[in-house]
Amino acid sequence: MTFKDLGLSDSLLKAIEEKGYTKPSPIQEKAIPKVLEGRDMLASAQTGTGKTAGFVLPILQLLENGVDYRKRPIRTLILTPTRELAAQIHQNVKEYGKHMDLKSMVMFGGVKQKPQVAQLRDGVDILIATPGRLIDLNNQGFVNLKKIEILVLDEADRMLDMGFLRDIQRIMTLLPERRQNLLFSATFSKDIKKLATGILSNPVSVTATPENTTVEVIKQRIIRMDKPRKTSFTIKMIEEGDWQQVLIFTRTKHGANKLCEKLNNKKITAMAIHGNKSQNHRTKALAQFKKGEVRVLVATDIAARGIDIPLLPHVINFEIPNISEDYVHRIGRTGRAGANGVAISLVDNEELAYIRDIEKLTKQKFDKEIIEGYEPPYIAEKDIKAPKGNGAQSRGRGGSKNSNSKPGNKKHYHTGNSNKGGGNRGGGNSGNR
């Protein structure tokens, strides 16, 4: 199968060739023809398998073949949970669409709104946005979404969990009822799938790899460890392995700052990225890390989803996420597009229950290593319990169970203004992330 066989136009084929892709990935093979047919879709495939091109390529073609408007109304809306992911998808849209006459823009909070408003006035075919700023600008009358033909929720399960659901519901009320809806992610829980049925109309379900699974080429090491010794072990690993590019996940912003400081004290260059940092700092940190100018990026889960750092060799879970899906996404920052990768999780006794949940979700059983000098205190199997208050997998802002938001049909989406805290949002950070 080639990209040409998928029915893509010459201008797209040229851009694909320039990107260096020789053949479509399995999810692209399956998704592209169906998107071109105009179908609604729930698509799932492992991290790093090219889902972005799976929706961007056919959308570009549909838009190019569509109605030729004199003024450009926004015809496609792509929503993402974080600003960094929005920027990355915008970059992809520009690359894949470079031989086409389509305009795209990215919109997110934490930066001045004026340039965004100016861009909107010039006309935009494809808008990639985080929900907060979009609602903000819509409330101010700067964005018209009445001509949306295609809606994409990338990282759809995250977009439909409690942290974002209200914003998404609000945005739905601004869109025409007839439109094509595309939901993409590497993970979908049963609850979220039910919720998705309220958005999708007669959808095709496209799966390239078993849902909620981790990429085989990622070597996963689970190391049981004494909590106070995690920092010294991390430093030792980086130094002894002479690792030059390591992404480290912590659970909290404070934890990220603290670890970052300790690494820098040891002359391991590190920057932190999380929701309390200015957008300027966030952008700089990610860019410098990608370029190899800083050795370590210490991140909360805002860097867990979708971010593509080609050939990133190492991911460390300094703390284990209490939401199992986040584990899949975090380690998926390595081992992308067929490259190798190693993901190391440092697990203290309090986190053993999370590992058990992750094993269940990803249908695998880990060998747990113990390293001399870093052993955790003894704990009996029966004493392994989820830490208090975290039993129901919460994300800080009331849990991710969607308990008070019924799946619902389109009518369910109310028109209430959920943007009371407007200015402070748009980064997709809930709770302490």
Q: Contacting ligand ATP (CB under 6 A), which of 310, 373, 389, 421?
A: 310
Asked if 326 touches ligand ATP (CB under 6 A), the answer is no
Cα 358–chain centre separation = 18
For residues 370 and 224, the answer to whether their CB atoms sit within 8 Å is: yes
Strand partners, 346: 223
Asked if 427 touches ligand ATP (CB under 6 A), the answer is no
Beta carbon of residue 24, minimum distance to ligand ATP (angstroms, whole number): 5
- Of the ranges 21-29, 352-360, 366-374, 408-416, which one interacts with ligand ATP (CB under 6 A)? 21-29
- Of the ranges 67-75, 294-302, 303-311, 386-394, which one interacts with Mg ion (CB under 5 A)? 303-311
Reported as half-sphere exposure (CB side, CA atoms, 13 A), residue 160 has a value of: 31
- Of the ranges 7-15, 270-278, 300-308, 425-433, which one interacts with Mg ion (CB under 5 A)? 300-308
Beta carbon of residue 342, minimum distance to ligand ATP (angstroms, whole number): 17
Q: Contacting ligand ATP (CB under 6 A), which of 31, 43, 52, 77?
A: 52
Asked if 332 touches ligand ATP (CB under 6 A), the answer is yes
Q: Contacting ligand ATP (CB under 6 A), which of 12, 15, 42, 53?
A: 53
Q: Which is nearer to ligand ATP, 51 or 433 (CB)?
A: 51
Site for Mg ion, residues 23 to 52, rule: CB under 5 A: 51
Which of Mg ion, ligand ATP, none is residue 308 near (CB under 5 to 8 Å by kind)?
A: ligand ATP
Reported as half-sphere exposure (CB side, CA atoms, 13 A), residue 28 has a value of: 25
Q: Contacting ligand ATP (CB under 6 A), which of 336, 395, 425, 433?
A: 336
Q: Which is nearer to ligand ATP, 47 or 76 (CB)?
A: 47
Cα 307–chain centre separation = 6
Q: Contacting ligand ATP (CB under 6 A), which of 11, 13, 21, 94?
A: 21
Q: Which is nearer to ligand ATP, 275 or 332 (CB)?
A: 332
Beta carbon of residue 69, minimum distance to Mg ion (angstroms, whole number): 29
Instruction: Give the closest residue to 121 by CA, choosing from 67, 85, 73.
Output: 73
Which of ligand ATP, Mg ion, none is residue 253 near (CB under 5 to 8 Å by kind)?
A: none
- Of the ranges 58-66, 304-312, 352-360, 399-407, which one interacts with ligand ATP (CB under 6 A)? 304-312
Asked if 306 touches Mg ion (CB under 5 A), the answer is yes
Beta carbon of residue 80, minimum distance to Mg ion (angstroms, whole number): 9
- Of the ranges 19-27, 97-105, 200-208, 368-376, which one interacts with ligand ATP (CB under 6 A)? 19-27
- Of the ranges 46-54, 144-152, 276-284, 372-380, which one interacts with ligand ATP (CB under 6 A)? 46-54
Site for ligand ATP, residues 196 to 235, rule: CB under 6 A: none
CA distance 15 to 358: 39
For residues 54 and 32, the answer to whether their CB atoms sit within 8 Å is: yes
3-state secondary structure the chain: CCCHHHCCCHHHHHHHHHHCCCCCCHHHHHHHHHHHCCCCEEEECCCCCCHHHHHHHHHHHHHHHCCCCCCCCCCEEEECCCHHHHHHHHHHHHHHCCCCCCCEEEECCCCCCHHHHHHHHHCCCEEEECHHHHHHHHHCCCCCCCCCCEEEEECHHHHCCCCCHHHHHHHHCCCCCCCEEEEEECCCCHHHHHHHHCCCCCCEEEECCCCCCCCCCEEEEEEECCHHHHHHHHHHHHHHHCCCCEEEECCCHHHHHHHHHHHHHCCCCEEEECCCCCHHHHHHHHHHHHHCCCCEEEECHHHCCCCCCCCCCEEEECCCCCCHHHHHHHHCCCCCCCCCEEEEEEECHHHHHHHHHHHHHHCCCCCEEECCCCCCCCCCHHHCCCCCCCCCCCCCCCCCCCCCCCCCCHHHCCCCCCCCCHHHCCCCCCCCC
Beta carbon of residue 184, minimum distance to ligand ATP (angstroms, whole number): 7
Beta carbon of residue 431, minimum distance to Mg ion (angstroms, whole number): 23
Which of ligand ATP, Mg ion, none is residue 377 near (CB under 5 to 8 Å by kind)?
A: none
For residue 166 the two structure tokens come to 């209200």
Cα 429–chain centre separation = 12
Q: Contacting ligand ATP (CB under 6 A), which of 15, 25, 108, 303?
A: 25
Asked if 104 touches ligand ATP (CB under 6 A), the answer is no
Q: Contacting ligand ATP (CB under 6 A), which of 8, 24, 63, 124?
A: 24
- Of the ranges 50-58, 231-239, 258-266, 275-283, which one interacts with ligand ATP (CB under 6 A)? 50-58
| Residues at the contact surface with Mg ion, assessed by CB under 5 A | 51, 306
| Residues at the contact surface with ligand ATP, assessed by CB under 6 A | 21, 24-25, 28, 45, 47-53, 186, 306, 308, 310, 332, 336-337
